[in-house]
Amino acid sequence: MLNAPAAERNKEPILAVLRGCVDPRGPLQALEVSSGTGQHVAHFARALPHITWQPSEYDHQSLASIEAYRTHYQLDGVKPAIHLDASSPWDSWGSGSLQAESLDLVVNINMIHISPIACTEGLFKGAGHILKPQGILLTYGPYAVNGQITPESNVNFDLSLRQRNAAWGLRDIALLSSMAQRRGLFLEKVVDMPANNKCLLFRKESLV
């Protein structure tokens, strides 16, 4: 059970946003793309038992950690984690185990700025296919707004990301919104979060 301090800090504020946007009655089906350690899915599953969660990861060590959380907390509402490369075609995710228009919710936390843009394109394309009409894609992280990154700590974070990998860096909300729209996902809400992060809520409004 790996522990990421940032996930420990942000899991409760993100849960509060989830509570505000999902149908409280259920049952609902959710996919988490890039689950990391498994801390988020374990937290969300215990708080929102009417949602069945499908965690996923690109990194094999993280897959093992998600499984450790699932076992430790005996999370019946969490399926075994699947391998998922967000930049690969959605119908290959989890060896093709995900069905078109089968999910109510897709969650993606802190991946968009720490991966090449092909992962974000794949995330939107995949979400456009696997979400039911009116389904929600929630992304969380730091973003640029109208070409501006604020405050100084996020400017420095963006620079440090680009130094580590030139294909990484904070993405502009306007760019994400237009990329999502091409996949039938419409940016419905931007929620300011602690530590200069935001939640973006996209809704699938039409068949793609």
Note the residues at the interface with ligand SAM (CB under 6 A): 4, 7, 34-37, 57-59, 62, 84-87, 109-111, 114-115, 119
CB of 56 to ligand SAM, least distance (A): 7
Which residue number, 126 or 135, has a Cβ lying nearer to ligand SAM? 126
CB of 9 to ligand SAM, least distance (A): 10
CB 132 within 8 A of CB 33: no
Which residue number, 118 or 145, has a Cβ lying nearer to ligand SAM? 118
Return the DSSP state at 148: B
CB of 206 to ligand SAM, least distance (A): 26
Which residue number, 100 or 161, has a Cβ lying nearer to ligand SAM? 161
Return the DSSP state at 23: -
Return the DSSP state at 122: H
Which residue number, 117 or 155, has a Cβ lying nearer to ligand SAM? 117
CB of 42 to ligand SAM, least distance (A): 11
Helix (H) or strand (E) holding 192: strand 185-193
CA distance 138 to 122: 15
Output the six-digit token pair for 71.
Answer: 């076992």
Number of helices (H), then strands (E), belonging to the chain: the values are 6, 8
SS3 191: strand
Which residue number, 85 or 205, has a Cβ lying nearer to ligand SAM? 85
Residue 66, CB half-sphere, CA atoms under 13 Å: how many? 26
CB of 61 to ligand SAM, least distance (A): 9
